[in-house]
Amino acid sequence: MENIYLVVGLGNPGREYARTRHNAGFLVVERLAERWQSSWTYEKKFNANVAQAQRNSRKVLLCEPQTYMNSSGETVGALMNFYRVPLARLLVAVDDADLPLGEIRLRPGGSSGGHHGLESVEQHLGTGKYARLRIGIGRASGAREITGYVLGRFSSTEAALADKVLTAASDQAESWLEAGIQKAMSQFNGAVDGSENERIEQ
């Protein structure tokens, strides 16, 4: 079996959603593609933008489903089946309004937490036992209805922290790939500190 890994960023396609909080997953895989000098191509059979990279002995597929968030599982399921990717080699990067901006959290599995993208992935894979990297985006203070907030862009005061968070999330994805999930969790989970290469454990 080919030593293949799949890193999926969840988000919505289209210019109106570009760089919104809800597209934090897209922003992580785009940053990885940039680091690895991988180019994106649209794969019609998966309805996804896909980039490929070789990382040591591993072949890595980066993916941005173009299905819209609520149907992300269609793309993830199709890619997993076509390339026969084991569940242990799948990582899904996703925004999380229940985590404050500045915090990231990698877990080996769990519930969707009400996130429709994760719900769709779980539905199509038939399990929640896959790694997910949650990128905290916070929520408007006191607001229960958060649609407008998550579909908005990071404010000018949030931009610098958001950039650090995306860098840390990309570092954590690389650590997951190269050192395994336990090392990546212990090294990066928690708040992203302002000082370089330091993490505040929660």
Pick the catalytic residue from 22, 115, 116, 124.
Answer: 22
pTM: predicted TM-score of the whole model, two decimal places: 0.91
Provide the residue-wise pLDDT of the chain in tens; the chain has 202 residues.
479 999 999 999 999 999 999 999 999 999 999 999 999 999 999 999 999 999 988 999 999 999 999 999 999 999 999 999 999 999 999 999 899 999 999 999 999 988 999 999 999 999 999 999 999 998 755 555 456 567 788 888 889 999 999 999 999 999 999 999 999 999 999 999 753 444 433 3
22: annotated active-site residue: yes
Domains of the chain: 4-200 (3.40.50.1470)
Q: How far apart are CA 23 and CA 200, in angstroms?
A: 25
Q: What are the Cα distances from residue 178, in Å, to 59, 87, 122, 123, 147?
A: 12, 16, 25, 28, 36
* Contact (Cβ atoms closer than 8 angstroms) between residue 4 and residue 80: no
Q: How far apart are CA 135 and CA 18, in angstroms?
A: 16
Q: Are strands 199-200 and 190-192 parallel, antiparallel or unpaired?
A: antiparallel
